[in-house]
Amino acid sequence: MMRPHAPHPIHPFARPGRIRSGPVFALLAAGLIAVSPATAQKSGGGGGQRPPAPTRPPRTSTAPLPRGQAMNETTLAVVGDRRITIAPFRTAWKGLKPPARPDSLTPKSAREFLELLIDKESLGARAMRENLPWSRRDSATFASYVDQVTLRARLAPMLDSMAAVHRAAGDTVRTEQALGVLVRDSTSAALHTRFDALLASRLAMRWAAIPRPSADSSVAAQLRVMGALPQIEASDLNKTLAWSDAGNLKVSELLDHWKLTDPIHRPRVENAAQVEDLGRNVLFERWLRKTTAEMKIAERPDLAAQIALRREYLAVNGLVYREVDQKLPSDTTTWRRWYDQHRSDYDLPGSAQLLTLFLPDRASAGSMFKTLLVPAKAESLIAQGQRGGVSYIETVSDEGDSIQYHRALRAGAGAVLGPDSTANGWRVARVQSFSLARPRTFEEALMFVQHDIQQTEGEKLMRRLIERTRAQTKIAVNEPAVRRLGERGF
């Protein structure tokens, strides 16, 4: 069986590695250092993020501690009213990989990594203190996050209990999805849920009439079809589909819930039983949210800390947006000047377009080698792949795969390379054409120019933000404890 090449085409605008994430933001996003309870308050957010300066040598000297904040042997640093202790330090260290952190834990690398944690805590404390307004997007993002975290916490013990019941009965351990259906159905039964069978059958016909996406249509066309809604009569919209002890469900509410479902993951609904399952989903989710609120699950200490971390992450994003993003150059004159100064950095490398196939064994690869020697047969294979929604064309360049590129260059257009043994099977490739190296125009390079300016200037602004924030923060480091931690390692 032949397979297309492993996808790694060189897009004419692809320059890997130009934009990188900063370690401070990696710590924030991962939620690797818990904030103190005093900082768990509503804060603002909004805006993107830029990479901070790379890991630096220690630059924090031991300062007098604020009154009443004496250090013990587990405290590595005090940043304002926050403490960085050994346990969260280890969690953060394990949670990040080089180059976001040093390769190994030594007294020197422990001190360097502590600087990142101090940066993170300083920014977090300032962002929470300034309490910037929430953007609409961040408000929605945060609300969705809290909803998912608390619902998951509410559902987890129910899934565990259902799994235990089935294990005790000798059943094979079920998947989480299967357990979720069982929990939903048992809850629906306990709530005495009942449906209007005739209405469910009528709705099923409307759902079944939704067209199926065609495999040979474009992706956009398929998404458009998958996003189609059932055409339900206006007279049915206000009718009650289901009754339960937790409330009733109208057809309009079922349709609203369907609209919020990702079209890609919508199930195919063709009968009344499947319509009733949709109704059970809505009623169960509604009940789950109601009981989650009544049980005050969001106030559970572990979840409250997790939610506070996400709130702080958004708050820091808002601070960086104001202090970094909004100060970045965004005018064509600056972009053009940068392009003129770095023009050669944006040159397009020479590339080769290959018809590449992978075969399961050398014999079939040898047979395909002979087939690809015939131009008409090679073009036929390309056309067959396109009809099946598969591209057999691979683009290689001196930057991306210099060995294969120069090999194709030496062989010339029309030559067939291989068979070569690879991890993906036996590779055979026909050299279709070449694109010569050339300078990118300003318009072609603009996206990269903007990225490079953001990275370079953004890093400078981020460094200044961190330095200003640290200068306004009381910081004390327990040097002996940090040294002992580095000497012990992990």
Overall residue count recorded for the chain in this entry: 490
Q: Round to whole Å and give the CA distance between 427 and 358.
A: 5
pLDDT value of position 190 = 96
Work out the pLDDT band at 175, boundaries 50, 70, 90. Answer: confident
Coil, strand or helix at 438: strand
Shared domain check, 391 and 265 = no
DSSP 8-state symbol, 348: B
483 occurs within a structural domain: no
Shared domain check, 259 and 356 = no
Q: Round to whole Å and give the CA distance between 465 and 51.
A: 12
| Single-letter amino acid, residue 78 | V
In terms of phi and psi (left: phi > 0; alpha: psi -120 to 50; beta: otherwise), the region of 482 is: alpha
Burial classification of residue 352, based on how many CB atoms lie within 10 Å of its CB (0-12 exposed, 13-18 middle, 19 or more buried):
buried
43 occurs within a structural domain: no
462 occurs within a structural domain: no
Domain boundary among 435, 450, 479: 435
379 occurs within a structural domain: yes
Shared domain check, 292 and 145 = yes
pLDDT value of position 39 = 35
Q: Side-chain half-sphere of 18: how many Cα atoms within 13 Å?
A: 15
Q: Is the pLDDT of residue 367 over 80?
A: yes
444 occurs within a structural domain: no
Do residues 126 and 472 touch, judged by C-beta distance below 8 A?
Answer: yes
Least-confidence region, from 5-19, 90-104, 325-339: 5-19
Shared domain check, 274 and 180 = yes
What stretches of 232-369 adopt beta strand conformation (E)?
240-243, 249-250, 351-359
pLDDT value of position 22 = 64
Q: Of 384, 475, 439, which is closest to residue 125 (Cα–Cα)?
A: 475
Q: Global pTM?
A: 0.67
pLDDT value of position 173 = 64
Q: Domain span at residue 405? A: 3-14+349-435
Q: Is the pLDDT of residue 361 over 80?
A: yes
pLDDT tens readout for residues 120-151: 999 999 999 998 888 899 899 999 999 999 99
Shared domain check, 288 and 224 = yes
373: CATH: 3.10.50.40
pLDDT value of position 241 = 97
Long-range contacts of 319-323 (CB under 8 A, 24+ apart): 319/123, 319/126, 319/127, 319/130, 319/132, 319/465, 320/47, 320/48, 320/49, 320/50, 320/123, 320/462, 320/465, 321/46, 321/47, 321/48, 322/47, 322/132, 323/461, 323/465
Between 377 and 45, the more confident residue is: 377
Shared domain check, 355 and 288 = no
Q: Is the pLDDT of residue 283 over 60?
A: yes
Shared domain check, 381 and 264 = no
Do residues 179 and 159 touch, judged by C-beta distance below 8 A?
Answer: yes
pLDDT value of position 135 = 86
pLDDT value of position 354 = 92
Q: Is the pLDDT of residue 273 over 80?
A: yes
Domain boundary among 419, 435, 451: 435
pLDDT value of position 301 = 93
Query: How many structural domains compose the chain?
Result: 2
330 occurs within a structural domain: no
pLDDT value of position 51 = 31
Least-confidence region, from 29-43, 167-181, 228-242: 29-43
Q: If you write DSSP's letter for every residue of 233-263 in order, what string do you get?
A: -HHHHTSEEEE-TT--EEHHHHHHHHHHS-G
Q: Helices 301-323 and 136-168 sit at what angle, rounded to 10 degrees?
A: 150
Mean of the pLDDT values across residues 41-65? 38
Share of the chain above pLDDT 70, in %: 85
Shared domain check, 144 and 204 = yes
pLDDT value of position 278 = 95
Work out the pLDDT band at 36, boundaries 50, 70, 90. Answer: very low
Structure tokens at 327: 């100060």
Q: Is the pLDDT of residue 13 over 80?
A: no
pLDDT value of position 120 = 92
Work out the pLDDT band at 166, boundaries 50, 70, 90. Answer: confident
Q: Is the pLDDT of residue 450 over 70?
A: yes
- Cα-based distances in Å from 138 to 23, 28, 122: 22, 15, 21
pLDDT value of position 58 = 38
Q: Is the pLDDT of residue 15 over 50?
A: no
Share of the chain above pLDDT 90, in %: 53
Domain boundary among 413, 435, 457: 435
Shared domain check, 185 and 288 = yes
Query: Within the chain, how many helices (H) and strands (E) appear?
Result: 17, 11
Question: Could you tell me what percentage of the chain is helix, strand and coil, using 3-state DSSP and rounding each to the nearest 5?
Answer: 55, 10, 35
Mean of the pLDDT values across residues 321-346? 91
The whole-chain average pLDDT of the chain stands at 83
Shared domain check, 267 and 157 = yes
Shared domain check, 373 and 268 = no
Mean of the pLDDT values across residues 280-294? 95
Task: Return the ∠ at Cα 47 (arms to 453 and 26), rounded to 5°.
Answer: 80
422 occurs within a structural domain: yes
Mean of the pLDDT values across residues 71-100? 88
129 occurs within a structural domain: no
- Determine the straight-line distance between the first and last CA of the chain, rounded to whole angstroms: 48
Shared domain check, 291 and 353 = no
